[in-house]
Amino acid sequence: MKHWIWGAGMLLMIGTGASADLPEPVYSTVLPQDDMQFPRVVGVPSGEEESPHATMYITVRDFYGNPVPNAFVELIFNTLCRDPLCTCNEPFANGYADENGYIELNIKAGGCCEAQDAVTIIANGINLRYYDWVVSPDHNGEEGDCAVDLADFATFANAMMSGMAGCADMTGDGAVNLADFVGFRDGWMRECDPSR
Ligand SMILES: [Ca+2]
Ligand SMILES: [Ca+2]
């Protein structure tokens, strides 16, 4: 009997050890993306001194729904997006969550890319989310140059008039309307030194 109890205790310890601190995608949250009908990562080119826009609010939780403190969270762009996208800072959008498993990632990037798994969000080596779209106000139909100017506005205005969502859909609802224009406006005249 004593032996049996010892064995059960070991099993419990092993079970707990395997799950605690291991991020569980279902219980983790990524906002605003989790609320989008067609989830996508939104970037805005901006320098270090500018107030950040296009923030992702991430809470990493384990299998029990408990926060994973100090989880290392990374955002990885698919190499297929290397040319269409530009980024403003290296290393790009990663860091350690706080004691509540919470981290805010500022997506300082331009361009537009559609590809399978264009973005992967990784926490402690576990893939939390995949996204097939990266959009930003910096899109004039060509590669992002990490500067939002008149050429980008012309493309956005065309999309708004034609109703072609795609790269102009900043809110991930499959449509282009005033809400997306607010997103575009937040990026207006923003720029940074682009890297790829
Ligand atoms: Ca541009
Ligand atoms: Ca939209």
Distance 23 CA to ligand 1 centre (A): 37
pLDDT at residue 1 in the model: 45
31-64, pLDDT tens digit by residue? 999 999 999 999 999 877 677 678 999 999 999 9
Distance 79 CA to ligand 2 centre (A): 26
196 is a domain residue: no
Name every residue whose Cβ is closer than 8 Å to that of residue 145 and which is 6 or more positions away in sequence: 86, 110, 138, 194
65-103, pLDDT tens digit by residue? 999 999 999 999 999 999 999 999 766 789 999 999 999
16 is a domain residue: no
5-38, pLDDT tens digit by residue? 545 544 454 555 556 689 999 999 999 999 999 9
Cβ(76)–Cβ(118) below 8 Å: no
5 is a domain residue: no
Q: Give the residue from 44, 25, 29, 40 showing the smallest Cα distance to 118.
A: 40
195 is a domain residue: no
The bound ligand whose nearest atom lies closest to the alpha carbon of 152 is: 1
Indicate the number of domains in the chain. 1
Distance 56 CA to ligand 2 centre (A): 17
Q: What is the pTM of this model?
A: 0.87
15 is a domain residue: no
The bound ligand whose nearest atom lies closest to the alpha carbon of 172 is: 2
| Enclosing domain of residue 177 | 21-187
Distance 142 CA to ligand 1 centre (A): 8
67 is a domain residue: yes
174 is a domain residue: yes
76 is a domain residue: yes
